[in-house]
Amino acid sequence: MAREKSYRDVLDGRVSIHDSVQEMYEKRLSDGKMSNVFDRFDAQEKIRCNFCVEGVSCQLCTGGPCRISEKAGAERGTCGIDPDAMAMRDMLLRNVMGTGTYTHHAYNAFRTLKATAEGKTPFSIVDEQKLRDMAATVDVDNTGSKEEVALGLAGTMIDQLSSGYEGPTMMVDKYAPKYRKKKWKDTGLYPSGVFHEIKDSTASCLTNVDGYYVSMAKKALRLGIATIYGSQLGLNLVQDILFGTPKPHSIQTDLGILDPDYINIVFNGHEPWTGVATIYAARDEKVQKRARQAGAKGLRVIGCIETGQELAQRFGMNDVFGGLIGNWLAIEPALATGAIDVFAMDENCSPPYLKPYEDKFQVTLVSVSELVRIPGVERNYNYMPDKVANVAQELISLGIENFKKRKERGIEAYVPQITQEAMAGFSTEAVLETVGGNLAALVEVIKEGKIKGIVALVNCTTLQNGPHDYMTVNLARELIRRDIMVITGGCGCEGLETAGLACLKAIEQAGSGLKEICSKLQIPPVLPFGTCTDTGRISMVVTAIADFLDVDTSDLPVAVTAPQYLEQKATIDGMFSLAYGLYTHLSPTPPITGGENLVKLLTEDLEGISGGKVALGDEPAAVADDIEKHILQKRKALGI
């Protein structure tokens, strides 16, 4: 059933809030020039059915496909499953996909640390203090050489992925807030290792196994906890050890960073390994000389979506790293510029129909992950830590050859001349350093009300509730105007950086209290923490504040929003937020509304179980009002 209002109606026909993307859409994508996500969404919008929108359809067994319809007398599926369980089972399967992808990333992080300690990668131990601190926290001997400590830590982190049902789960036990651990044990939400939670959740979704929506919801919450502590937090810390803990610095964003006179190798996805290796390789003057001999000004590495964010969080702008072009809805517009030579894809967020862009705009598409395969793309490299340096060199050679072909074919580049400065590189350590290394100083400005509270904005981007990044950008503006600081990660982070909300000029858009603090500390009102994977990193800030105040996380004036979430990783982040005890705004509305009892559980009853609850809403100002109301209630309860 088609919706009455299209996403294009929100901004007078625009497909994106960003002028650069809009310009590329009009210039090179629209009116049948290229198949693109914006037009494909229009076609799908006409034929969607309410059964899928409400989560009451199922294709899991030959008893179906089944749909729930009271009007048709089909109040249960063939097997007897009710609408609440049908919707929750579908959501749990989404959650498993998200956890599986995060855990793939985590395993790669841990085996890369091991290979680096063995001298098999181009990487090194950059943050040795964090290595030794993390080792001590997880009871690994940290007194040997850094290589010995890294080997011990890598082995321990790999083992903890599959820790069993007996005894505490190491990463939860060592890093979770103390009151949360008790809450999770009391409510049956304390997880085992993430591999077991994936296994158990998936097996529960088999036909005629778990048909109770409350049981499956609790499994999703356990899975969320296991994901953040077993997968995300560990990989966050290990990447810091290998590449350095992020520190605030200036970067350039948006499509205008692409210079067609350079060989541009773009890294897209979520894992930084090959991108970092290529940055290291491209620093060699011999590589730059080869680029100039091919007729280019030089060779640059450019970031796109989360891999780009990983690079941007740690590498400042220089002759090799050229900045960040945007999030996943900017991929097709970027390829259509005719300025990209290699588009290297890892793990996820690489749309499957990019081959026409390769052919028309002379781009070399390459997969650098065993997970990613694009129809028509023949260059595929599985990630192996001991081979990544060789792959980086091959990508450089491909880039040089592609640049020559671009020139031979006379590909006319068209790049919108729009760039935006942003301040990237925030982390728990960076936030503390900003306030003089004293958590009490941060807590004090919150107590004084100059910062009313903190909202973590972590999400993807979608067209389901408005143009590209519309809801994300406008909600963030509404929040900072109310003196609520925003910490951000994921594709939403790129959206806010590109929209100019993560630079010092954005301070003028903040309320008087937040403006005063940001001006004094010289930080923007929106702090980029990186990728969706950095949900674990963001949780460390909340944990630090809760433990400092000796309260539970659910007592704090904080909230979470995913204002334009898209896919499965976002859903498991949301489940963690609920298990963590936080008010969690979601937009668009998840496909569960056909299960009335399930909706009540997530929006009302869950608050009495975990302390968290789901809030809905697609209008930025109204959503901000609700979040502010929640934050003020938490402040009042704390007596501040």
Could you tell me which of 430, 589, 420, 395 has the C-alpha nearest to residue 502?
A: 420
What is the 3-state composition of the chain as percent helix, strand, coil, each rounded to the nearest 5? 50, 10, 35
Q: How far is CA 305 from the centre of its chain?
A: 9
- DSSP characters for 319-346? SSEEEE---GGGHHHHHTTS--SEEEE-
Instruction: Give the Cα separation of 569 and 533 in Å (integer).
Output: 9
Instruction: Give the Cα separation of 103 and 110 in Å (integer).
Output: 10
- Bridge-partner residues for 454, per DSSP? 485, 558
Q: Tokens 């923007």 appear where?
A: 524
Instruction: Give the Cα separation of 519 and 510 in Å (integer).
Output: 10
Residues that constitute the known binding site: 49, 58, 61, 66, 79, 270, 349, 460, 491, 532
Distances, alpha carbon 128 to alpha carbons 71, 109, 132, 564, in Å:
64, 16, 6, 37
Instruction: Give the Cα separation of 597 and 71 in Å (integer).
Output: 19
Residue 384: which residues within 8 A CB-CB, separation 6 or more?
none
SS3 label, residue 490: strand
Instruction: Give the Cα separation of 446 and 632 in Å (integer).
Output: 11
SS3 label, residue 283: coil
C-alpha atoms less than 13 angstroms from C-alpha of 53 in its C-beta half-sphere:
12
Task: Name the CA dihedral angle for 444, 447, 451, 453, rounded to a multiple of 10 degrees.
Answer: 120
Residue 421: its H or E element: strand 420-424
Residues that constitute the known binding site for [4Fe-4S] cluster: 49, 58, 61, 66, 79
- The backbone region for 26, taken as left when phi is positive above 0, alpha when psi lies in -120 to 50, beta otherwise, is alpha
Overall size of the chain counted in residues: 640
C-alpha atoms less than 13 angstroms from C-alpha of 77 in its C-beta half-sphere:
26
Tokens linked to 145: 């050489």
Q: Which 8-state DSSP code applies to residue 231?
A: I
Q: Are 131 and 153 in contact (CB under 8 A)?
A: yes
Tokens linked to 419: 């760039």
Instruction: Characterize the bridge pairing of strands 299-304 and 342-345.
Output: unpaired
Could you tell me which of 91, 92, 93, 63 has the C-alpha nearest to residue 76?
A: 63
Q: Are 197 and 224 in contact (CB under 8 A)?
A: no
Residue 630: which residues within 8 A CB-CB, separation 6 or more?
559, 583, 615
- The one-letter code for the residue type at 172 is V
Q: Are 578 and 229 in contact (CB under 8 A)?
A: no
Tokens linked to 607: 């608050």
Residues that constitute the known binding site for [Ni-4Fe-4S] cluster: 270, 349, 460, 491, 532
Beta-sheet strand order (sheet of 453-459): 526-530, 484-490, 453-459, 558-562, 583-586, 613-616
Instruction: Give the Cα separation of 456 and 347 in Å (integer).
Output: 24
- The one-letter code for the residue type at 48 is R
SS3 label, residue 144: coil
